[in-house]
Each structure stands twice: as C-alpha cells, then as structure tokens.
Amino acid sequence: MVPLFIIAFSLETLINRRRRAESTLNWKEVWANIALGTTYQIMEPLGVALVTGSIYAWVYSKRLFDIPVDGWTILPIILSVEFCYYWFHRASHRIRWFWAAHVVHHTGENMNFTTAARQSMLNVVAGSFIFFLPPVLLGVPPAAVALILAVNLSYQYFIHTELIRRLPGWIEYIFNTPSHHRAHHGRNDQYIDKNYGGMLIIFDRMFGTFEEERETVQYGITQQIKSYNILVLNLHEFVDMWRDVMSPGPVWQRLQHLWRPPEWVRRGHEPIHTWTVDRNEPTGSESTPTPSTSAT
C-alpha cells in the first residue's frame, strides 16, 4: 500500500496548495511522521517473527472451532475484527500502559495523510496484539485476522485528512470517515476519548463513544510534547509512566499508574514530565481541556 499512500499524500498536498494558494504543511512534523512510520514498519515484522507469530499459532492450536473463510463467514469475521479493534483502541486511550504506545499517534498537531504513519515502534512491547486473539481462539485462521486487520488499517490511512469535509449521511452513519476521525484526534474537551472505530463507527454509536465533528478541531494531546525527535516521541510516555511508578509512595498506589487512565493523578504525587510539554489551552478552542494526558 505504500505507493498508494505516497500518491495520496502528493495529491492531497497539490490540492491544498491550489485551494489555499500556499502549503500549510509543517514539514518537520511530516518528516517525523514518515520516520515514525518507518520504524514502526521495521519493528512490527520483527515482533511477528520473534513473539506474536508464535503466540497466535499456539492460540490457534487451542481453537474451539474450525471456521472457514468463505462467502458465508467473511462478513462476520470482518465485524469481529472491527469489534476487537474498537476495544483495543478504547483501551489504548483509557489504560495508561497501552496509551504509552498509542500516544505517539496523537502527538501530531496537524492532520494530513502522513499523520496515519505516526505509529509507535513499541506496540509489540505494549502487547496490543492480545486484543485480536479472540477470533483466533474461536477458530478464525491467524492469517485471515492479520489480513483483515491490515485492510482495516489501510482504510484508516485515508481518513487522516482535512481534504474531505463530509460524506453522504448514510456513509457518515455507518463508516468511520475523515470527519469522525478528525474529531477523534481533537484535544477539545468534547472530542477527548471519542470515535474509536476503525472502518466502522457503529460500535461507537452502540457504546456511547460517538461524537460528531462540530467546532474546529485542535489536534494533539492536552499536555503536548514539544519534540520532533522520534526517540522522544516513542519513549516519552513510557519513561514518564515508569518514573511515576518509581516515585515514593505506597506500592499499590504507585502500581496503579500502569492501568489507570492517563489523566489519573496519585494523591500527593506531581505527575512527571521528563521532556517539555505545553499545558496551555489550544489556541482558538472554545472549551477548556480536561487535565488529561490523552486526547482522542
């Protein structure tokens, strides 16, 4: 898909230049996005080869049923992977351990197709693959789950854009669209922790996490990391999380930094920020952001 991604970004840039007379791209951020995507593409295959491939094979050997992939089962399998993605994505915002990897994707302060490449090289370390084991345990071949997930993620590349404002109503109701995903990336108060879907938006509507894009989206996180260094971007939340865990206090309270929401503050402990963050309210926002380190 990479050639298509490059073509799409090139067209997006050309169209935006025509519409706005000049490019509004932050090229430092674009190159950081590409570098983050490259390290992600290197680490993911290594993770599959060294860790996750064996785990999926073992779970599949314990499968409850044999589910063929055919015309009768493909739609339920796609929905099951989408359902798993919804809960993976929701956990990645509400459990700090997973947020420490996922936050990389949300630190971009602009929205264009390269934002989709802004991924963490530590996904395997965080163990995000566990969310996609249920279909395999039921009997869906791991290769089918991996392929459908790859299609799901490829689809999401094309919703990271400001080029497309709104699509026809029925598409907006069923599918995850650029409008829904822009809201997902907003640090405005009403957009935080909303619109977790991958290809579809139906589970957000079912579970109360849907939010329509209304006011102008302010991209980024509420305590914005100020860096284009890919090591800082990959590691900053992991480092801060473990420094919070190791800070003085009752052990049980300290350990809760691992599974509590990112914005949770331990009594008597000042959250640690190893690198510079911007705690100011986003420029132009009409609402006050919550004291959270996460933004959807």
Chain segment 86-99, per-residue pLDDT in tens: 999 999 999 999 99
pTM: 0.91
| pLDDT given for residue 23 in this prediction | 56
The pair of structure tokens assigned to 277 is: 């963050």
CA–CA separation, 80 vs 59, rounded Å? Answer: 17
CA–CA separation, 239 vs 217, rounded Å? Answer: 28
Phi, psi of 156 (to 5 degrees): -65, -20
Chain segment 208-222, per-residue pLDDT in tens: 999 999 999 999 999
Count how many Cα atoms sit within 13 Å of the Cα of residue 235 in the half-sphere of its side chain.
8
| pLDDT given for residue 62 in this prediction | 97
Mark the ranges of the chain whose per-residue pLDDT is less than 70. 21-24, 279-296
Element (H, E) at 278: strand 277-278
What are the residues whose beta carbons fall under 8 Å from the beta carbon of 198, sequence distance 6 or more? 82, 85, 86, 89, 152, 153, 155, 156, 176
Looking up tokens 């809201």 gives 183
Chain segment 221-233, per-residue pLDDT in tens: 999 999 999 999 9
| pLDDT given for residue 124 in this prediction | 86
Residue type for 91, please? A
Nearest to 141 by CA among 76, 57, 85: 57
